[in-house]
Amino acid sequence: MITTGPKTCIICGRPRSASECLKHRNDLLGIAFTICKECANECADFSDETSVINICRLANLPFVHDIYYKLVRDTDRPNFSLYMQKIAPYKKFIDYNDSVFDSVENTQPVEQIEVTDKIIVRWGDGLTPEKYAYLEKALQSLLDIKPATTVLEINRYVQNIKLKESFDQALSDGDYRAISQLRKAYEEDLKSLGLDAVLSSKDNSSKNIGQKIRDVEMTRPIPERDEYKDAAKIEAYIDKWFVTNMKRNFGLASEEEQEALYENERAPQQDEG
């Protein structure tokens, strides 16, 4: 008989409705037991990779290191529900047997920094060391592009990075209303910092050929080729029948210029001869 009522969470022991349950793949739990989202979020400590792996193993869900790492890096308060949202679009990751424990995209070790009081004041409390390292690196990237000369300018850079973080989070969450507002705010903030033109010119790999040609025309001299000069022969016509005639009337035309006036008339006579 199929049970349609609440299921009991094997961690907290409380009955849970379907909306409160994790969509696990552990067939051993049967139809009466489950793992609730609340317990999964509490047990999966994203500052401890092993605890996340343990929940994945218990629920028979895939653990993918790159997704875990990006969630830790890009999210202030990562939890298992967010992890499941991130992994859902990947159809190749079905259960725990599909887990990927090594980084595929980034084989470099996670950068570690000493989290000082100054860094905590700058970015806020409660972040992971990896997140602090990521934010500090983002700040240094802006300073490399345009060095700050005052503490106020550094604080403006920090606010810009936080705004970018909010924008990225809205993109990740699919919050389309927030995406539009945050994109506009971020672009305006870049412009006020004088960074918009610098950042947009650093990489044109995503531009199509028309955009690249436009950029070249705006920043480099356009080469002129002889075959493209006076394509309609208007300049040659004026030189021959107006300028040369005027020069001949004043005795200034050379023999070559005078002979050029009658080249087309002499050619048929030579052919007839």
Q: What is the pLDDT of residues 192-218, one digit of tens each?
A: 888 766 555 544 544 555 555 555 555
Q: According to the model, what pLDDT value does residue 96 have?
A: 92
Give the largest Cα separation in the chain, rounded: 116
Give dist(CA 142, CA 146) in Å, integer.
Answer: 6
Q: What is the pLDDT of residues 121-157, one digit of tens each?
A: 999 888 888 788 888 988 888 888 888 888 888 999 9
Average pLDDT over residues 115-120: 89
Angle of the 65-74 helix axis to the 49-59 helix axis, nearest 10: 130
Cα first-last separation, the chain: 113
Helix (H) or strand (E) holding 7, with range, is strand 7-9
Q: How confident is the model at residue 166 (pLDDT cuts 50, 70, 90)?
A: confident
Q: What is the pLDDT of residues 38-79, one digit of tens each?
A: 999 999 988 888 889 999 999 999 999 989 988 888 888 899
- Please, are residues 68 and 57 in contact by the beta-carbon 8 Å criterion? no
Give dist(CA 26, CA 34) in Å, integer.
Answer: 9
Backbone angles phi, psi at 111, to 5 degrees: -70, 135
Residue count (the chain) = 273
pLDDT at 254 over 90: no
Q: According to the model, what pLDDT value does residue 63 have?
A: 94
The DSSP bridge partners found for residue 36 are 21
Q: According to the model, what pLDDT value does residue 97 have?
A: 92
Per-range mean pLDDT, top range of 12-16, 231-235, 246-250: 12-16
- Ranges of each domain in the chain: 7-98, 117-219, 226-265
16: which DSSP letter?
E
